[in-house]
Amino acid sequence: MKKLFHLSTTPKQLRMFEGDWEEIKQFVGKNQMDGIELGLTLDYDIEQIPKEIIEGVHLSFYPMWVDFWRQDEEKLSQLFATKEERNAYYQGDSPECLVTSYRKQYERAKALGAKYMVFHVSHVLPEDSFTWEFTYSDKEVMIATLELINSAFPKEENGPLLLFENLWWPGLNYKDSELTKWFIEQVEYPNKGYLVDISHLILNNKEIGTEQEAYFYIKQIIKSLGETKQWIKAVHLNKTLPKRYMQRDHGYLLKKYREIKDSKQKLTLLKKHIQALDGHIPFDHPIAKKIVALINPEYCVYETAPKSRYELAYFIKKQNEAMK
């Protein structure tokens, strides 16, 4: 099993290393990691990235995209004030722009020599994240995803592994083993599989308040998958224990969100809410090793949210200790 950490080409993350890839390369070795899963922004020049440390590439994710894919003008008009705002969000005015984007990302992943790519199978509206009441079912989101994936990725070419990641919103969440089996079988791209994000899996169950409870829940889910478990090739390792936060009054937050008129302030509140659920903190409890062993992946990615390279090194150290 290869141990990786997640790093994005956003300015905020690259500033931790002064944008110096030689520094990043040395950091990989110094912290006993095998490489990087790269969050690759579309406009970043890949020529400066040392290919030897790149194992995976995380593809872009639009949290609310199914209405755009279906061109549901009524729903889209409720989400965006103007068509210009909508087109800026999706970087185009028709569903074909999403296909074009993922084709470009696929070519860039290949050019970097990535062994795998990560794709979120999910759809959620901002207000739904407070209410947990959703407009689409898991299968409806999966059907839309299959339309997009089977349009964007070649059916014949055996490129990098295309790994589908779970979220706790409609789409892939591993709660329904038959649906999970059905989805992967419908993907026409041949080199395919699943990735399990540990925190996202825990968030299926709002009652989890301890690491032991997380372990037993994950064990139950993995067992229920049966033979479909063989498709799981990677894990995002991080931790959340949602019980305490989920006991709070989110109706108050939703009311506050609706009352805010400034779009930046709305986004700040939404991000704070999502971070409280999915904070990307290190899984620093020894039971992390047992959780990863349940899945037995080829790649274990330390996906945390550090504020500096020193905090990143600390988070890696904590998870390395838990995995001993």
What are the φ and ψ backbone dihedral angles of 154, each rounded to 5 degrees? -65, 145
pLDDT of residue 95: 96
Distance CA 144, CA 6 (A): 27
Closest CA to 238 of 292, 303, 291, 299: 303
3-state secondary structure 233-287: EEEEECECCCHHHHCCCHHHHHHHHHHCCCHHHHHHHHHHHHHHHCCCECCCCCH
Digit-by-digit pLDDT tens for the chain (324 residues) are 999 999 999 999 999 999 999 999 999 999 999 999 999 999 999 999 999 999 999 999 999 999 999 999 999 999 998 999 999 999 999 999 999 999 999 999 999 999 999 999 999 999 999 999 999 999 999 999 999 999 999 998 889 999 999 999 999 999 999 999 999 999 999 999 999 999 999 999 999 999 999 999 999 999 999 999 999 999 999 999 999 999 988 999 999 999 999 989 999 999 999 999 999 999 999 999 999 999 999 999 999 999 999 999 999 999 999 999
The tokens describing 110, both together, are 């290949």
pTM of the model: 0.97
DSSP strand pairing (232-237 vs 2-8)? unpaired
Instruction: Using the Cα atoms of residue 219, residue 224, residue 299 and residue 214 in order, give the sign of their dihedral.
Output: negative
Q: Are 140 and 66 spatial neighbours (Cβ–Cβ below 8 Å)?
A: yes
CA dihedral 247, 248, 250, 255 (to 10 degrees): 160
Give the per-residue pLDDT at 81.
87
The pLDDT value recorded for residue 70 is: 96
pLDDT score at 156: 85
d(CA 194, CA 197): 10
- Alpha carbon distance 76, 68 (integer Å): 7
Could you give the dihedral angle defined by the CA atoms of residues 33, 39, 44 and 45, in that order, rounded to the nearest 10 degrees? 40
219/229 Cα distance (integer angstroms): 12
Domain covering 2-322 in this structure, CATH number: 3.20.20.150
Q: State the pLDDT at residue 157.
A: 84
Helix (H, G, I), strand (E, B) or coil at 100: helix
The per-residue pLDDT for 249 is 86
Cβ atoms of 40 and 57 closer than 8 Å: yes
pLDDT of residue 181: 98
Q: For residue 197, count CB atoms less than 10 angstroms from its CB and return exposed for 0-12, middle for 13-18, buried for 19 or more.
A: buried
